[in-house]
Amino acid sequence: MSEVTTLPPIVAAIRENRRALARLLTRIENNAAAAELAALYPYGGQAHLIGVTGAPGTGKSSLVNCMAKAYRAEGKTVSILAVDPTSPFSGGAVLGDRIRMRDLHGDQGVFIRSMATRGNLGGLARTTSDMIRALDAAGFDIVLIETVGAGQSEVEIASAAQTTIVVEAPGLGDDVQAIKAGILEIADILVVNKADNPGVESTLRALRAMLDLGHRSERIMHHGKLMNVPAAPILGEEAAWQTPIVQTIATDGTGVPELLAKIAEHRAYLRASGVQQLRERASLRAEIEERLRDLLLAHLLERVGVAHFQAVVERVLRREIDPNSAAGLLLAESSRDHKP
Amino acid sequence: MSEVTTLPPIVAAIRENRRALARLLTRIENNAAAAELAALYPYGGQAHLIGVTGAPGTGKSSLVNCMAKAYRAEGKTVSILAVDPTSPFSGGAVLGDRIRMRDLHGDQGVFIRSMATRGNLGGLARTTSDMIRALDAAGFDIVLIETVGAGQSEVEIASAAQTTIVVEAPGLGDDVQAIKAGILEIADILVVNKADNPGVESTLRALRAMLDLGHRSERIMHHGKLMNVPAAPILGEEAAWQTPIVQTIATDGTGVPELLAKIAEHRAYLRASGVQQLRERASLRAEIEERLRDLLLAHLLERVGVAHFQAVVERVLRREIDPNSAAGLLLAESSRDHKP
C-alpha cells in the first residue's frame, strides 16, 4: 500500500528479516507489542487467512504441509501458525513440528510458528489474531492457521480465518462424528483426508447428511454476539456458499490442487458477496468489546482497590450476598468514588 | 439454615413445588431471575455438586442414571442438570432424555432438567452455575451436572462442580485419548465405563500412564486467572488427592457403589484440606469479575453511544486504527465525558 521507503520501521523489519518477525511474535505472545501492532495494522489486509482444523488422527498437519508446498509451487509465500488449545492448563504438545521441519526446511518462502496454550482461551484467541496480523503485514500471500480439536476453542480461533477448512478422516468412529456437529457448522470447505482408507464412503455419506441437515449460515454479529445466522436472507438461496467436500490423500498430494481451487473460489465468493466485510466487522466489534471489558475491569479494580474487592468476594463466600449483587455493589461504589 | 416460616417466598416455593422450580429455571435460562437468585443464594451450600463429563459413546448418561438410582437407594434426593455445549451455534441435542425418563420417571426425589446451548459459552457457564444454585437452594442432597464433550467448554462448566468425574470407555481409539489430555487434568475421579468391553486393559494402562505423567494439581486463582497449580506446595505431597480410577458397567450397576464411595471420600478430602474453599473463592472471584466486565461495557456503550462505537469499528475496518488503540480511544472518551 506504500513504497518501501515510507514503511514504519517494524513493518520494514519483519518484511526483510525473519528473525525480526520471530522476535515480534514472541513479544506478541508475551503481550508486549501494542505499539508494534498499532504500527503494522494499516499494512495488513492482503493475505488470505486460511484456518485448518480437525481432530487428531485426521492427518491435518500433513495436509497443511502439502498445501504449503502447493502454494509455493504457485510462487506464493506461506506462513503457518499452528495453535494447540486442547490442553487448557499445562501447555499442549507442539503440532507435528518434526514432520513439518523435514518437509519445508530451507525454503525462504515459508515461515512456521507453533504456539501451545498459555493462559485462558480468550487470551489465546486474541494472541492468535494478533499474530495473524503480524504475518499478514509481513507480506505473506497465504497465512495457514492450524488448530487441533473439535470444540468451542477451535470455533473461536477459526473466527480469525477468512476461509475455514475442517478435516475429517474415515474410521474415526461414529462417536467422533457426533461431537463434530458444532465444528461442521464453521466449515467453509470440508476435507476428507486419507481418502484411500477403508470406510471413506460411509464418512462421505455421513458428512453429506449433516450438510443437508444444516442450513448454510454466515457468522455475523447478531444481538451483539458473534454467531451464525442463515445466509439465505442475506444473500438469497442461490448466491449462498454451498460447503463443498474435497477428498485428499495428504501423503501423496492427491486432491490438493482441487482443494486449492475451492479455497480460491471461496475467497472470490467472500469478496463478491460482501460476506467478508460482514464477518470482519462482526469479529472486530467483538474484539474491541472484549478489549474494553478488560480495560474497564482493570480501571475499576484500581479505583475500588484490590483489598476491598477481595473483601466483597469473602462476603459472597460467606453467602451474605450473591455474586450478581456483589458486582452491582462494586460498580456503584466505583462510580460514586470516581474522581478523574 | 432457618425454619420454614422464615424462608423467603421463592425458597419456600422451589422446595415445596417442582413446577415452581421448573419455572424458576426457565427464568434463569432467560436471564430474568436476578432478584430470585439474590434471595435464594444464602440458602444454598448444602448440596454436593458432582460434575460428570466425557465424550459421546462412553455411556455417561446411563452412568448418571445409575448414580441417581444408587443415591435414591441411600435415601438422598437428586437433581440432574444435563448441559450440551457441543453445538455452539444451533443448539445441541438433549442428552439421553428418553432413557432417563424411562428409568427415573415417577420418583419425586429426582428432578431432571436439560439445557441445550444458547448463546455464547460464557453465557452458558453462567446460566449453568445459576441453575446449580437454584437446585442447591431447593434442598437436593445431590446435584449431578452432566456435560458432553472433551474441550474447554466442559472445563468451564466443570469448574462449577465440587467433584468432577471424567468418564472414559474402551475402544474409542488412541486419537480420542489424545484429545482428552486437557480434560483429564480436571478429573477428581476417573471412571472407565463399559468395563466388560474388549480393550479395557489398554484403556486402563493409557489412563494410568497419563495420571503418572501429570502432577496432581488444584484449580485455584493464580495471577488473577482460574487455573491449575501443583497441589503439593499447598497440601504437602502426602495430603494431595490421588485421582482414582473406578471401573463401572452402567448397564447392570457394577462398580457404582465403589464410585459413590470415592465421591464421598473426595468430598471429605475437599472439606478437610480446605481445597473446597480455595476453589470456591477462586471461581466466585472469576465470576464477579466477569459480571463486572459485562456491566462496565454496557455502561460505557451507554455513555459513548452505540452510533459512535460503530463509527470507531468502521475506522478499524478501514485500517485507520488498530483494535487495541480503538479500545483505548473509546475508554478515554468515556472517562472524559463522564458526568455522574
Q: Are A169 and A202 in contact (CB under 8 A)?
A: no
What is the pLDDT at residue B173? 57
Q: Are A47 and A76 in contact (CB under 8 A)?
A: no
Per-residue pLDDT reduced to its tens digit, B183-239: 677 789 999 999 999 889 988 888 887 777 654 555 544 444 444 444 545 555 556
For residue B262, pLDDT beyond 80? yes
DSSP tag of B198: T
Cell of A67: 498445501
pLDDT of residue A51: 94
With a CB-CB cutoff of 8 Å, which residues 225-254 of chain B face chain A? 225-228
Q: Which fold has domain A44-274?
A: Rossmann fold (3.40.50)
Q: Do A225 and B285 touch (CB under 8 A)?
A: no
pLDDT number for residue B179: 44
Q: Are the Cβ atoms of B316 and A288 closer than 8 angstroms?
A: yes
What ranges make up the beta strands (E) of chain A? 48-54, 78-84, 110-116, 142-148, 163-168, 189-192, 217-222, 225-230, 245-247
Provide mean pLDDT across the span A273-295. Answer: 91
CA angle (B220, B221, B225) in 5-degree steps: 125
pLDDT, one tens digit per residue, over B97-110 is: 545 556 677 788 99
CB pairs under 8 A between A and B: 223
Q: Which residue has the cell 431447593?
A: B138
Confidence of residue B180 (pLDDT cuts 50, 70, 90): low
CA-CA-CA-CA dihedral for A322, A323, A327, A328, to nearest 10: -30
A42, B319 Cβ separation under 8 angstroms? yes
**Under a CB-based contact definition with an 8 Å cutoff, are residues A126 and A14 in contact?**
no
C-alpha cell at B288: 464477579
Give counts: helices (H), strands (E), chain A.
15, 9
Q: What is the mean pLDDT of residues A56-74?
A: 91
Work out the number of other CB atoms within 10 angstroms of the CB of residue A119: 15
Query: What does the pLDDT read at residue A7?
Result: 94
> What whole-number distance in Å separates Cα of residue B294 and Cα of residue A126?
18
pLDDT reported for residue B187: 86
Tell me the residue type at B257: P
* Measured distance CA(A310)–CA(A296) in Å, rounded: 18
Nearest to A324 among B38, B316, B336 (CB): B38
What ranges do the domains of chain A cover? 44-274
Best mutation target, B94, B164, B172, B297, to test chain A (most A CBs within 10 A) = B297
Cross-chain Cβ contact B86/A287 below 8 Å: no
Any chain B CB within 8 A of the CB of A155?
yes
Q: Binning pLDDT at 50, 70 and 90, where does residue A267 land?
A: very high
Mean pLDDT of A274-290: 91
pTM here is 0.77
pLDDT of residue A63: 95
Give pLDDT, residue A180. 54
Reading the block at residue A142, the C-alpha cell is: 497465504
> Residue range A237-252: average pLDDT?
86
pLDDT, mean over chain A: 82
Q: Which three cell numbers stand for residue B179?
A: 484429545
Q: What distance in Å separates residue A59's CA from the closest CA in chain B? A: 11
**Beta strand B217-222 pairing with B225-230:** antiparallel
Q: Which residue has the cell 472439606?
A: B271
- A194-216 mean pLDDT: 80
Higher pLDDT, B327 or B120: B327
Name the fold adopted by B44-273: Rossmann fold (3.40.50)
Residue B45: which of A44, A319, A335 has the nearest Cβ? A319
Is B75 at the interface with chain A, CB within 8 A?
no
Over 60: is that where the pLDDT of B313 sits?
A: yes
Distance of CA B94 to the CA centre of its chain: 17
pLDDT in tens, B63-110: 999 999 999 999 999 999 988 765 443 333 444 454 555 667 778 899
pLDDT at B338 (0 to 100): 52
Q: What is the pLDDT of residue A145?
A: 94
Residues in chain B: 340
A11 against B180, higher pLDDT: A11
> Which helix (DSSP H) or strand (DSSP E) does residue B143 occupy?
strand B142-148
Mean per-residue pLDDT of chain B: 82
Identify the pLDDT of residue A8: 96
Nearest to B309 by CA among A129, A222, A276, A292: A292
| pLDDT band for position A114 (cuts 50, 70, 90) | confident
Please check whether residue B222 touches A, CB under 8 A: no
Binary contact (A319, B92; C-beta < 8 A) = no
- The residue that leads in pLDDT, B311 or B278, is B311
Question: Residue A88's pLDDT band (boundaries 50, 70, 90)?
Answer: very low
Return the H-helix or E-strand segment holding A96. Answer: none
H-helix or E-strand containing B221?
strand B217-222
